[in-house]
Structure 1
Amino acid sequence: MADFKFEIVKNIAVLSENAKGWTKEFNLVSWNERPAKYDIREWSPDHKMMGKGVTLTEEEVGLIIKGLNENK
């Protein structure tokens, strides 16, 4: 697997924590020095390892918020 770089630009929210201390987080993350995107995934306590996740653009997050607001 090729090396890649990441930087958590902003921690937005911790959504949950499992028994091993890994946290599911909603963050703004820059991947390979590209513009940051919104990201939901599990992180190890030191943020050096991560699980599979979902990366979203600002537009996609806006559509999720809109959909949630319309279905209250």
Structure 2
Amino acid sequence: MAEIKFEITEKLGVLSESSKGWKKELNKVSWNEYPAKYDIREWDPDHQKMGKGITLSKEEMRLLKEIINSLELD
């Protein structure tokens, strides 16, 4: 299996933290040297291991922002 290369190019925010120190974060990440995209996933404290997540293009992030802004949160 090929090694996955990644670089966190911009840290945008922490959404939550587990009791084991892993943090769910929103970052911009370059995967395999491609242009960075928005990325939401859990990371270990050293940012060497990661959980499953979702990667969004700029347009997908723009649409997600519109959807979130339209929600009525109780």
TM-score past 0.5 threshold: yes
Cα RMSD (Å) of the superposition?
0.9
Q: Offset at 1:47?
A: 0.3
SS in 1 for 2:45: coil
Q: Deviations over 1:24-71 (max 9, x none)?
A: 000000000000000000000000000000000000010011112233
Aligned length: 72
The correspondence of residues 18-57 of structure 1 with structure 2, limited to 5 A, is 18-57=18-57
Q: Determine the C-alpha separation between the residues in 2 that align with 1:71 and 1:51.
A: 27
SS in 1 for 2:20: coil
Q: Identity over aligned residues, as a percent?
A: 60
Q: Which amino acid aligns with 1:3?
A: E
Q: Offset at 1:20?
A: 0.3
User: For structure 1, which runs of at least 5 residues remain unmatched after alignment?
Assistant: none
Runs of 4+ in structure 1 deviating by more than 4 angstroms, as ranges, are none
The answer to whether residue 12 in structure 2 is matched with residue 2 in structure 1 is no
Give the TM-score normalised by the residue count of structure 1: 0.94
Give the TM-score normalised by the residue count of structure 2: 0.92
User: For structure 2, which runs of at least 5 residues remain unmatched after alignment?
Assistant: none
Q: Which amino acid aligns with 1:40?
A: I
